């Protein structure tokens, strides 16, 4: 059964997600992009308040995929004590050089999650390189929310292939990208480790609005069904 990842942008939202019983609290700033980052001080405050009661992931922002840019951002977020750090593998840049630069952090035990984008020609051939570098997992998301949701952009067969390939490499797999309540039953059949949500949890179903506790509970029940 898949678990639920809930993206939040502040301490109050993190506490709402914790109270609902979500499986992982994901820290990001939706108003700042697909993987917009919270300030490191805010991440640290949330980690302190959650105090190990729920796993926490955090993004590093929509950064150019260059080692000299990505590595310092990841290293800084690592000082906050989050359980997972999410890194966007955007189309441009040098993914293999980035992976090589991050290998020491993986060797030190930091759990890194690569995020590929359904609307940016995700290259599943990169998955073995992620495993070789020591990454813990990989997610599929959407970069430009106006281009459609994950399930509109990629077929069930393609999503299943992604999950299967990730699991064959012992990588945690996640699916996200403007997912809605009605998408959950079919996505649950794919066997991804996590289904990630933001907009579906918010007031008026808009990702930059505040969390709606009733929506969080409804999505969690559907994921667990």
Active site residues: 28, 86
How does DSSP classify residue 25? E
Q: Phi and psi (nearest 5°) for 140?
A: -105, 130
HSE-up of residue 11 (Cα within 13 Å, Cβ side): 13
- Three-state SS for 156? helix
Q: Whose CA is closest to 197, among 1, 10, 59, 8? A: 8
Sole residue written with tokens 């399930």: 151
Which secondary-structure segment (H or E) carries 117?
strand 111-117
68 CB contacts (<8 Å, ≥6 apart)? Answer: none
- Beta strands 24-27 and 3-8, pairing class: parallel
Burial of 155 (0-12, 13-18, 19+ CB in 10 A): exposed
- Beta strands 137-141 and 111-117, pairing class: parallel
- Beta strands 137-141 and 172-175, pairing class: parallel
């Amino acid at each position: 059964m898949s678990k639920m990842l809930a993206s939040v942008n502040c301490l109050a939202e993190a506490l709402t997600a914790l109270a609902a019983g979500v499986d992982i609290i994901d820290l990001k700033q939706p108003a700042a992009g697909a993987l917009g980052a919270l300030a490191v001080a805010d991440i640290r405050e949330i980690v302190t308040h959650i105090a190990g009661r729920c796993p926490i992931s955090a993004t590093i922002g929509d950064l150019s995929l260059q080692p000299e840019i990505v590595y310092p951002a990841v290293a800084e977020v690592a000082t906050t004590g989050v359980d997972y750090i999410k890194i966007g593998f955007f189309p441009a840049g040098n993914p293999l050089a980035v992976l090589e630069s991050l290998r020491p952090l993986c060797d030190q035990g930091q759990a890194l999650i690569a995020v590929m984008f359904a609307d940016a020609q995700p290259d599943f051939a990169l998955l073995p390189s992620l495993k070789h570098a020591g990454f813990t997992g990989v997610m599929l998301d959407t970069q430009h929310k106006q281009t459609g949701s994950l399930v509109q952009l990629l077929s069930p067969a393609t999503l299943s292939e992604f999950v299967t390939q990730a699991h064959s490499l012992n990588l945690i797999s996640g699916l996200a990208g403007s997912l809605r309540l009605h998408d959950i039953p079919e996505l649950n059949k794919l066997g991804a480790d996590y289904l990630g949500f933001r907009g579906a949890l918010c007031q008026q179903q808009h990702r930059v609005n505040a969390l709606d506790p009733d929506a969080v509970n409804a999505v969690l029940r559907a994921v667990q069904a």
